[in-house]
Amino acid sequence: MIATLSPFSQQQTQKNVILLKSIRWETFQALIAELEADRNLQLTYHAETLEAIDRREGMEKQTHSLILRGISWQTYKALMTDVGDNRLWRMTYERGVLEIRMPREEHEEPKELLGDFITVMVDELGWEMRKLGSLTLEREDLNRAAEPDACFYIQNEAIVRGRKITLGQDPPPDLVIESDYTHSSIYKHSLYAALGVPEIWRYYQNRLGVYRLNGEEYIESRESLAFPFLPIGEIPDFVRQSQKIGQRSTVRQFRARIREILGTDNG
């Protein structure tokens, strides 16, 4: 079955194309109904594959993201159920606005290194940690959902150990990482604040920003809440160094630096 919603002529230049597979016809129909007024989008459906083209002026073809407005929570959930967990796309939903993003290599590498650095610190301190990657954090009562680049339970690890996490009943992750090589169109600080995430690390343009929740907003801090001894200003140097000496060598050097700071270096 082939169906399309396209207010544009084929001669117009495509701006940004995203393909989603395993989409049910019912989900496509719900999207058609909710997006009918959006003249910037072209949707095409064939063999359970949804093609979405964003033709907004000024939209770069390599943005690798798509914004859908006017999406109900029910349609967001149907889309999430259809695409499943085995995918590269990341979803963010805030009160009717759905962003679908494809991470890029430049985005993934700093995130992975930051995760390794967190693991090093937890191990050196003898703590436990639950690392849950891009766990979907969602609250229907708040009409918000997000898939961070990485998330960690540290202070609250014992509370959620071995559990299927349900926000509202369980605490949010203690720390989330966002590696924004391509800047998100949804302001995630307000979203994470609503979910109650205590700390955000944002790596952007070779800089690590650490943000701590203060009431209903985040304040950039010189100290990490989870790791107050962390030399935040040194982290970009370690990330850049990995391009020259390799990731594992960089992690070993980071471990040596943390041992020096903690006074546990026996060398």
- Residues of the chain with pLDDT below 50 are 1-2, 5-14, 59-62
Number of neighbouring beta carbons within 10 Å of residue 235: 21
**Torsion sign across C-alpha atoms 239, 242, 244, 250:** positive
Domain boundaries along the sequence of the chain: 2-101, 105-262
pLDDT by residue (tens digit) across 186-235? 688 999 999 999 999 999 889 999 999 999 999 999 999 999 999 999 99
- Give the per-residue pLDDT at 267: 56
pLDDT for 120 equals: 98
Query: Using an 8 Å Cβ cutoff, are 125 and 160 in contact?
Result: no
| End-to-end CA gap in the chain | 67
| The pLDDT value given to residue 185 | 55
pTM score, whole prediction? 0.86
Q: What's phi and psi for 125, nearest 5 deg?
A: -85, -10
| Residue pointed to by tokens 């993201």 | 65
Query: Residues of 98-117 as b/e, b for ≥16 C-beta within 10 angstroms?
Result: bbbbbbeeebebbbebbbbb
List the one residue out of 199, 153, 158 whose CA is nearest residue 178.
199
105-262: CATH topology is: tt1808, chain A (3.90.1570)
The tokens describing 192, both together, are 């994470």
C-alpha closest to that of 147 among 195, 216, 96: 195
